[in-house]
Amino acid sequence: MLAVLLSVMACNSANNNTAKESAVAAENSQPEVVVGGARTDIYVPLLKEKRLALLSNQTGIVGDKHVLDIMLENGLNVVTIFSPEHGFRGTADAGEHVSSSVDEKTGIPIASLYDGKTKYPSKETMDKFDVIVIDLQDVGLRFYTYYVTMINLMDAAVIYDKQVVVFDRPNPNIMTVDGPILDMNLKSGVGRLPIPTVYGMTMGELAKMAVGEHWLVDGKSCNLTVVPCDNYTRQTRYSLPVAPSPNLPNMLSIYLYPSTCFFEGTPVSLGRGTDWPFQVYGHPDMTGYDFSFTPRSRFGAKNPPCLDQLCHGVDLHEMDPEEAIAQGINLEYVIDAYNNLNIGEKFFTKFFDLLMGRKDIKQMIMDGKSAAEIKATWAADVEAFKQQREPYLIYK
């Protein structure tokens, strides 16, 4: 019997290896994705003779150049830079307010959209340009702040009658749609639109949907153009050339982010201040685990949860990325930590509801519901959203 079992296991292993090799071969045979910012033949004629404002940051890379440099080399008149969370060069900590400044390389003024003062630029700033260009590498999560900044700036475009052009980029989580639709009573800086936690759309597609569904200020529209990616589909595995933020250092962190980010609304560390942010979780008072880690102050995590404390918990940093993708949102990790700490409702902060987008999920966890049972509560909403977004999809 053991011999038969070993034979079956060997066969399954061989099949899995073959499948992975086939997937890698298929990926390698695909033509290289061309991001919107590289398609100068489309956007340079559109933007010539216009005064431009650029919303971008360190992710606005096209080959070995920044999109700002490419625009300037092509004679485009960029007069203002807008910066999101982490700043234009991506050096600010998570949630850290960023002041307006001047870009040292080009001398162009930078207007921060993450200064903690107002979500809209001043009239003085808006009067300086005609068109807003947006080129940000998002990761496709409702609580990731880059799309929120984009939508706020589109609102400003409505108010001040400005054109918006989005240079589209791949969404590394585009293959997944999962999670509850945001209860708009919980609208915040980590939840701006009535979309699932993982919505499976690029920034360009989401911008189109915001216009088409009248989600912008006062339900009004704006003049929107999307410069699409080329050689890109909803099944493309796209490895980001630059980390989108300091605590998403690799693709596994991005694929686990939909599941582990909810620890931000608990006392549990999700690995900020270690080499594996969003890829481990633990707490000094958790027991029964062999794995441990100690968060330290470092770039991108100056004061992480459980700073300098030995945390016991779970190591996910060697998980197969395809496994992380396949699970979508997996609440088993949060449920595991909740049960282990055994502190009841004190396990959840108010931020948990904002991240989850619904107030009833934490009660389900306290009532002992399984991750599968909780996921079933939003399944119908996810299917309805897939139909709702269909008219705005660019990629097949």
**Span of 75-89, 228-242, 259-273, 374-388 with lowest mean pLDDT:** 75-89
For the stretch 156-176, what's the b/e string if a residue is b when 16 or more beta carbons lie within 10 angstroms of its beta carbon? bbbbbebbbbbbbbbbbbbbb
Judge whether 112 lies within some domain.
yes
Query: Do residues 339 and 203 share a domain?
Result: no
Q: Is the pLDDT of residue 26 over 60?
A: no
Q: Is the pLDDT of residue 194 over 80?
A: yes
Judge whether 76 lies within some domain.
yes
Query: Do residues 56 and 145 share a domain?
Result: yes
pLDDT at residue 86, as a whole number: 58
Query: Do residues 171 and 284 share a domain?
Result: no
Query: Do residues 216 and 319 share a domain?
Result: no
Residue 387 gets which letter from DSSP?
H
Judge whether 372 lies within some domain.
no
Return the half-sphere exposure (C-beta side, CA atoms, 13 A cut-off) of residue 130: 8
Query: Do residues 68 and 138 share a domain?
Result: yes
pLDDT at residue 83, as a whole number: 86
Total number of domains constituting the chain: 2
Which residues, in sequence order, are CB contacts of 260 under 8 Å at separation 6+? 270, 271, 278, 279, 281, 316, 333
pLDDT at residue 19, as a whole number: 46
Residue with tokens 């300098």: 308
Residue with tokens 């004061």: 303
Query: Do residues 193 and 46 share a domain?
Result: yes
Closest by CA position to 79, among listed 53, 111, 49: 53
Tell me the CA end-to-end span of the chain in Å, nearest whole number. 47
Q: Is the pLDDT of residue 10 over 60?
A: no
Beta strands in 96-229 (DSSP E): 101-102, 109-112, 131-135, 163-167, 224-227
pLDDT in tens, 268-306: 999 999 999 999 999 999 999 999 999 999 988 999 999
Judge whether 396 lies within some domain.
no
Query: Do residues 56 and 136 share a domain?
Result: yes
Q: Is the pLDDT of residue 30 over 90?
A: no
Judge whether 150 lies within some domain.
yes
Query: Do residues 221 and 260 share a domain?
Result: no
Query: Do residues 217 and 259 share a domain?
Result: no
By CB atoms closer than 10 A (0-12, 13-18, 19+), residue 19 is exposed
CATH code of the domain covering residue 164: 3.40.50.12170
Query: Do residues 262 and 208 share a domain?
Result: no
pLDDT at residue 112, as a whole number: 82
d(CA 255, CA 359): 24
pLDDT in tens, 42-91: 999 999 999 999 999 999 999 999 999 999 999 999 999 998 765 676 55
Q: What mean pLDDT comes out for the span 7-20?
A: 43
The per-residue pLDDT of the chain, averaged, comes to 90
Are 374 and 361 within 8 A, CB to CB? yes
Judge whether 318 lies within some domain.
yes
pLDDT at residue 98, as a whole number: 59
Query: Do residues 195 and 256 share a domain?
Result: no
Tell me the pTM. Answer: 0.89
Judge whether 18 lies within some domain.
no
| Domain extent for 355 | 251-359
Judge whether 195 lies within some domain.
yes
Query: Do residues 74 and 161 share a domain?
Result: yes
